[in-house]
Structure 1
Amino acid sequence: MNTYFDNSGTSFPKPPQVAEAISRYLKDGGGTYGRAAYGRAYEATVLVEECRDKLAELMGGSNSAQIAFTANSTTAINTIIKGLSLRGKRVLVSPLEHNAVMRPLLFLKETEGVAIEMLKTHSDGVIDIEALDLITRSNIGLVVINHQSNVSGVVQPVSDICKWAADIPVLIDGSQSVGHIPLHLEEWGVDYFAFTGHKGLLGPTGVGGFYAREPGNITPLIHGGTGSASDSFEMPAFVPDKYQAGTPNIVGIVGLLAALNNVPQPMTTSADLRKGIQSVASLKGFKVLCASSEHEQGGSFSFTHAELSPSQLARELYDKYGLEVRSGLHCAPAAHRFYSTFPQGSTRIALSAYHFPDDLVYLFGALKEIASRF
C-alpha cells in the first residue's frame, strides 16, 4: 500500500531507473558538461541535451534551446522576474501564488517600485476570464499565474489568459502542473514557464529550469563560466548558455532524463479523485479546498477540520494510520488568505502515478474514522 501523499512537496517513489541512472553516471560516467572533447565529457553532454530535448517535447515547444536548466523552479522564477525590465511597472498575479513568486515580487516592489495587483477570480480561485477585459492594460509589465495551486489543486485556464494578454508577457509557474497536465506552451502563447524536476516529473531534487519563448529578453541572474565564448568576460549572447553559468547538476539531469524515459501509467483517475474529494467534503467538520469543476482540478487538494488544527490532523493521520501528508501554509500564504484559512493553513493530499484506488479508500476511511469522533 502507498501511504505517501505529499507529492506536491516532492514525489515518492521515483521510477527505479532514476536511481540506476544516477548510480551509473557516478560510478561509470562522471564527465562534465560542454567543457571538454574526451569521451566522458561528450557522453555527459549528450545526456544533458537529450534531457533538454525531452523537456521541450513534453512542454510543447519546438526549440530545445528555449529550455534553460536551473536548480529548481524558484531559481527559474527569480531569473525571469528579476531579469525582465519591470521597474515602475504593474505586475498582475493570481491570488494563489506561491512565495517563490510573491517574495521576489515584493523585493522588486521595495527596490524598483513594482506595483503588484491581484486578478479577480471565481470563489474557488479560478481566474475570471470575463473580468480580464475590465483591466486597464497600460504599464503592465508581466502577468504571473500559478498553473496548478499547491494548496487547492485548482488549474488555471492558461490558454485563455495568454490570449487576453496578447503582447503582455505571461509567466506560468508550472511547479505543480508539469508531469501531471498536458502542456502546449507554444500553442498557448506562453512567454515563460518555470518548472521543477522532483514533483510531477518524478525526478530528483536540485534540478529544474524554465522555458522562454523569447529568451533574449531576460538579463541573466547568475554570471560565470559556461564552457563557451570563454575569450570574453561577457556572458554568451546565445541560449541556453546565457542562463547556465557554472557546471550544471549533471547528476540531477541524468536522473530527470531517466524519469522522463520511464513515466509510469497512472493507476487512479480524475473520477477516483473527485469521488474522494466529495467523500471528504461530506464528512462532519471538514472543509475542502478544491476547484468547483472537476475539469479545473489537479491531482491535489487540501482540507481543514473544525476541531483539529492542520498539524494535529496530519500527526494523527501519520501516528495512527501511517499516512504521510503535509500541513501548514505550504509556502503559499496568499492562497490561504484567499481561502480564509490563514494563518493556520490546511492539511494537503497530493497523488502520484503510484497510487492505486485502494490507497485512496484507505486514506478516506481514516478521515471518516476521525470525523466520527466529533
Structure 2
Amino acid sequence: MILNNYFDNAATSFPKPVAVAGEISRYLNDVGGPYGRSFYSRAIEVSGTVETCRDMLAARLGISDAGNLVFTANATGAINTVLSGLDTAGREVWVTPMEHNAVMRPLQRLQDRGVAVVKILPAGPDGLVDPGAVRNINFSSAALVVICHQSNVTGLIQPVAEIKRAVGDVPLLLDTSQSAGNTPVNIEEWNIDYAAVTGHKGLLGPTGVGALYMKNPESLEPMICGGTGSRSDSFETPSFLPDRFEAGTPNVAGIYGLYGALKEAPEPAHSPDDILEMLDYVSGIPGIKVLRAEDANRQGAVFSIITDEVQVSDFGMKLYENFGIESRIGLHCAPLAHKTLGTFPTGTVRIAPSIYHGRTDFDRLIYALENTAKKLRI
C-alpha cells in the first residue's frame, strides 16, 4: 500500500483527481480558443465549459444564481476586489482574530491610507467568535465584517450563520479558502453578501483559479478594467455580469482543470470522527501540544502542534527527514491567528490532511509524531 505523506493541503491540495490534468490537457492540446469572444464551434465549446464550471461551482457553494459568481485568479484576488471596491472611507471593517494576510494586508493598506479602521470581533482563546458578544457591538460605523470560515492554522470553523444574524444588515465577506470542498458551505442559506473562493485547496483544482460571489454586485466597483469581448464600442466597463468583474482573458486552462475536479470530486477516505480520534490520540503524546478548536463540533481536518522541547522548525524537519511527513512550519501567513493563540512569532507545525487521507495514513502520521517527539525529548 502506498501511503500519502503529504500533509500540506492547507497550502495547496495534492493529489488531484485525474480529470484535472485531463481537462487542462484537453483544453491546451485539443480545444484551445478564447472564452466569450468568438462565434466558431471551438470558442463556443470553451464558453460552454466555462459556464458549466461556473454552474457546478455555484451549486457546490449553495448559490442558486451562478450569474452572481465571477472567476478570479484566487481567493486573494476576490478578497482584494471586495476591499478595494467597497466604500470604506472613514468606516470600520471588523474581522475575526484568525484572519489570513490575504485579508489583513489589504486592510492594513486601507488603514494606512486613512480610509478604513480595522476592528477585531470578540472571541475565545481558540479564536472562536462569540455571536452573543457580537450582538452587543455598535455597528453604525461599520462598512464590512470579514469572516475566515475555517482557520488555516487550527481548523477552527466559525459559526457563520450566527455571526451574520448578529451583525444584521452589515455586509459580510466570507473567506472560504480552507472550507470550500472540505466543510459544507451554504452561501445563500447563511445570507452571505460576498464570498471568496480558491480552486486549488479543498476543491482539488489547479492553482491560479478562484471565484467571487456577490449578492449585490452593484455595491462594488471593479478592481480591474479592460477588454471583455462585449460593448467594445465603449470605453465604459460593462455593467452586467460576469463581464463587469472579468476583464481580460481568464485562466481558461485553470477553469477547465477546476471543471475536471468538480465533475470527479472523490468521496472522502475518512470521516470527521476519524479526524477527532486522531486528534485525541496526538493530544496524548508526551511533549506535544495540539492547537485545535475547543469545541469538537467546530473542528475541521487542519490542526497544528507545538512542543516545549524543541523549535517547531526542528520538529517539522525531523518529521520529514525521518518519516517523509510533508507539513508546514511557521506562521502560515496568519500572524494575527498566531498572536491570538500565543504562538507568535515562532509559529507551529501545521498538519493539513486532504479527503484522500485514510485511517492507515493517520496511523502512519501518529507513529511519526510519536517517535519524533520521543527522539527529540530532552
Fold match by TM threshold 0.5? yes
Equivalent residue for 2:11?
9
Q: Match of 2:303, as an amino acid? A: F
Q: Does the Cα contact within 8 Å between 1:268 and 1:353 map onto a contact in 2?
A: yes
Q: Does the Cα contact within 8 Å between 2:135 and 2:167 map onto a contact in 1?
A: no
Which digits, 9 at most, give the CA deviation of each residue in 1:172-212, with x for residues without a partner? 11100000111211111000000100000000000001111
Which digits, 9 at most, give the CA deviation of each residue in 1:197-242, with x for residues without a partner? 0000000000001111111111000010011111110110011110
Which digits, 9 at most, give the CA deviation of each residue in 1:287-318, with x for residues without a partner? 11110122101110111111222221111111
Q: Does the Cα contact within 8 Å between 1:86 and 1:112 map onto a contact in 2?
A: no
Q: Match of 1:323, as an amino acid? A: I
Q: Does the Cα contact within 8 Å between 1:270 and 1:294 map onto a contact in 2?
A: no
Distance 2:163 2:217 in 1: 21
Equivalent residue for 2:292?
290
Compute the RMSD of aligned alpha carbons. Answer: 0.9
Q: 1:333 aligns with which of 332, 335, 350?
A: 335
Q: CA deviation at 1:69?
A: 0.6
Secondary structure of 1:92's counterpart equals: strand
Secondary structure of 2:37's counterpart equals: coil
Q: 1:177 aligns with which of 153, 176, 179?
A: 179
Q: 2:153 aligns with which of 132, 144, 151?
A: 151
Q: CA deviation at 1:123?
A: 2.0
Matches within 5 A, 1:75-94: 75-94=77-96
Q: CA deviation at 1:10?
A: 0.3
Q: Match of 2:152, as an amino acid? A: N
Equivalent residue for 2:199?
197
Q: Match of 2:279, as an amino acid? A: I
Secondary structure of 2:188's counterpart equals: helix
Q: CA deviation at 1:353?
A: 1.4
Q: Does the Cα contact within 8 Å between 2:132 and 2:166 map onto a contact in 1?
A: no
What is the aligned length? Answer: 374
Q: Does the Cα contact within 8 Å between 2:78 and 2:196 map onto a contact in 1?
A: yes
Q: CA deviation at 1:371?
A: 2.1
Q: CA deviation at 1:372?
A: 2.0
Indicate yes or no: 2:333 matched with 1:324: no
Q: CA deviation at 1:335?
A: 0.3
Q: Percent identity?
A: 49
Q: CA deviation at 1:270?
A: 1.1
Distance 1:112 1:226 in 2: 33
Equivalent residue for 1:365?
367
Distance 2:282 2:250 in 1: 43
Equivalent residue for 1:253?
255
Distance 1:74 1:293 in 2: 29
Q: 2:28 aligns with which of 18, 26, 29?
A: 26
Secondary structure of 1:68's counterpart equals: strand
Q: Does the Cα contact within 8 Å between 1:302 and 1:347 map onto a contact in 2?
A: yes
- What's the TM-score, normalizing by structure 2? 0.98
Which digits, 9 at most, give the CA deviation of each residue in 1:86-132, with x for residues without a partner? 01001110000000000000111011331111111122211111101
Q: CA deviation at 1:257?
A: 0.4
Distance 1:168 1:284 in 2: 46
Matches within 5 A, 1:57-206: 57-206=59-208
Which digits, 9 at most, give the CA deviation of each residue in 1:232-290, with x for residues without a partner? 10110011110001000000000000100001110111111111111221122211111
Q: 1:353 aligns with which of 320, 342, 355?
A: 355
Distance 2:23 2:136 in 1: 51
Distance 1:188 1:141 in 2: 19
Unaligned runs of 5+ in 2: none
> Which runs of structure 1 show a deviation greater than 6 angstroms over 4 or more consecutive aligned residues?
none
Q: Match of 1:79, as an amino acid? A: T
Distance 1:284 1:117 in 2: 38
Secondary structure of 2:113's counterpart equals: helix
Q: Does the Cα contact within 8 Å between 1:198 and 1:205 map onto a contact in 2?
A: yes
Q: Say which is worse superposed, 105-114 or 6-15, in terms of deviation.
A: 105-114
Which digits, 9 at most, give the CA deviation of each residue in 1:334-373, with x for residues without a partner? 0000001000010111111111100000001111112223
Q: Does the Cα contact within 8 Å between 1:145 and 1:172 map onto a contact in 2?
A: yes
Q: 1:49 aligns with which of 47, 51, 55?
A: 51
Q: Does the Cα contact within 8 Å between 2:323 and 2:368 map onto a contact in 1?
A: yes
Distance 2:49 2:147 in 1: 31
Q: Match of 2:25, as an amino acid? A: S
Distance 2:62 2:112 in 1: 36
Matches within 5 A, 1:212-231: 212-231=214-233
